[in-house]
Amino acid sequence: MTINIEKTNDMTIAHLAGRLDTPASTEVAPSFEQLNDAANGMVVLDCTELVYISSSGLRLFLALRKASAAKGGKVIVRNISNSIRQVFMMTGFLNLFEIE
């Protein structure tokens, strides 16, 4: 699991790649803290290379969404695979995020 955070003028883009399972979630938790700090602006989670996400990963997404909501920012989830889209659907996350 890798996460690359790229900052531009008006947004923060996080490139997620690999499997975001429970151990990986622990690994990437600090990176998500960074994203939470930037949650007053627009944060894009680029999931093009994300192949798997478990509830711990979803929990990170949700925490970011909460921080963003508190700071008046915006979270966009981009390019999720069909499998992950189904998980989002199943858990109601499709309604919590802007999916691109």
Partner 1 sequence: MKLKAGLLLVIVAVLTLEATFIIQYHYSQREIKKEASLRAASELKSAENKIMDVVNQAEAAVRNSIWVAEWCLETPDSLKRIPQRIVSENPVVVGSTMALVPGYSEKYPLYAPYAMRDDETGKIKMLSLATEEYDYPSSEWFTKPIEMDEGYWSEPYFDENGGDILMTTFSMPVKDRNGKIAAIVTADISLEWLAELIERMKVYPNAFNMVVSRNGNIMVCTVENLTMKATIDQIALESDDYKALDRVNKAMLAGQYGEMPVKYQGEINHVYFAPVERTGWSLSIVLPEKDLYSGVRRMAMNVQLLQLLGLSMIIIILRVVAKNRAKYQRINEQKERIENELHIAREIQMSMIPKTFPPFPERKDLDLAASIIPAKEVGGDLYDFFIRDEKLFFCIGDVSGKGIPASLVMAVTRSLFRAMSAHEDSPAKIVTSMNNTMSEANERSMFVTFFCGVLDLSAGQLRYCNAGHNPPMILTDAIRVLPVEPNLPIGIMKGVDFIEQETPFLYDDALFLYTDGLSEAENATKEQFGEDRIEKALHGRKRSSDHLENIKQQVSQFVGEAPQSDDLTMLFIHYLAHVVPAQQERHLELHNDIKQISLLAEFIEKIAEEKKLDETLAMNLNLALEEAVTNVILYAYPKGTDGLVDIDAIVMEHSLEFIITDSGVPFDPTAAPEADITLSADERPIGGLGIFMVRKLMDEVHYQRLDNKNVLKMTKNI
Are 18 and 2 a contacting pair, CB within 8 Å? yes
Q: Give the ranges where the chain is alpha helix by DSSP (H).
A: 22-37, 55-71, 82-91
| Minimal distance, residue 9 CB to partner 1, in Å | 26
66 interacts with partner 1 by CB under 8 A: yes
Q: Which amino acid is at 19?
A: R
Residues in contact with partner 1, shown as a per-residue x/- string from 39 to 58 under the rule CB under 8 A: ------------xx-xxx-x
Quick check: 96 binds partner 1 (CB under 8 A)? yes
Using CB under 8 A, pick the residue from 6, 7, 86, 98 that binds partner 1: 86
Distance of alpha carbon 76 from alpha carbon 98, whole angstroms: 5
Tell me the closest approach of the beta carbon of residue 38 to partner 1, in angstroms.
17
